[in-house]
């Protein structure tokens, strides 16, 4: 169990997160949705310990970040590091002894090539493989399906289901609502740094319709297409 209480984050005078509260249980997938700029990535970075914030984050782990795998929207790779070297680096960070990475290469990546030469989707798959090999208990996946091919999307969905079976905790954001419907137990709507709605699986389609209505409004009519 992870408890997030009154988490707030500001950049100068701009308050990005405003007293966010969230409870995360083992064996569940939590979807976080919201417009660009709503604060999703900032929230993820705060939980992962990559940003300072106010409020409290408590868990069963003495140091949460040592048991957390964070997949950012755009993973960063050091210059002149191969795919296999990157995986070795992440395993070393968790004291996981592993050298036969080709056996774990389910996305069939060119592990002998420099990671910086990978496409956007390949980089994301490499970063995901790395945090999976660390044997983490908590995963934050920021747009894991974005920029990834259909076959890999199916593999990622299956991976999430397997992590749930292993009683891991997963937090995920996605602009592809169907992927949330396939993976999440509940979805939280973040708007201007505040959670405004929590929806369980039975009401996902209602939330989807609400978000479409909010996003579209009268924008198409105002455009006056001819």
d(CA 25, CA 11): 30
* Calculated CA dihedral for residues 182, 186, 188, 189, nearest 10 degrees: 50
CATH code for residues 2-75+137-218: 3.40.50.300
Q: pLDDT tens digits, residue range 127-138?
A: 999 999 999 999
User: Tens of pLDDT along 35-73?
Assistant: 888 899 999 999 999 999 999 999 988 889 999 999 999
Half-sphere exposure (Cβ direction) of 179: Cα atoms closer than 13 Å: 26
* pTM for the model: 0.90
| In the chain, where the domains are located | 2-75+137-218
**pLDDT, mean over the chain:** 91
């Amino acid at each position: 169990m992870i408890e997030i209480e009154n988490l707030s984050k500001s950049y100068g005078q701009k308050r990005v997160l405003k007293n966010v509260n969230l409870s995360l249980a083992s064996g569940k997938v939590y979807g976080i949705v919201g417009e660009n700029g709503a604060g999703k990535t900032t929230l993820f970075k705060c939980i992962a310990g990559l940003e300072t914030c106010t409020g409290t984050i408590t868990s069963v782990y003495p140091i949460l970040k040592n048991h957390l795998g964070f997949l950012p929207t755009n993973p960063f790779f050091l210059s002149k590091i191969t795919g296999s070297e990157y995986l070795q680096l992440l395993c070393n960070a968790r004291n996981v002894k592993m050298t036969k990475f080709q056996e774990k290469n389910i996305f069939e990546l060119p592990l002998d090539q420099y990671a910086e030469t990978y496409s956007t989707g390949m980089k994301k798959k490499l970063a995901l493989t790395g945090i999976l090999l660390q044997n983490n208990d908590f995963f934050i996946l920021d747009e894991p399906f974005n920029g990834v091919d259909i076959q890999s999307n199916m593999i990622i969905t299956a991976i999430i289901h397997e992590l749930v079976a292993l009683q891991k905790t997963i937090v995920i954001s996605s602009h592809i609502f169907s992927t949330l419907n396939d993976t999440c137990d509940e979805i939280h709507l973040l708007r201007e740094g505040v959670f405004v709605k929590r929806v369980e699986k039975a009401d996902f389609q209602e939330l989807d319709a609400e978000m479409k209505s909010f996003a579209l409004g009268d924008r198409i009519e105002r455009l006056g297409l001819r």
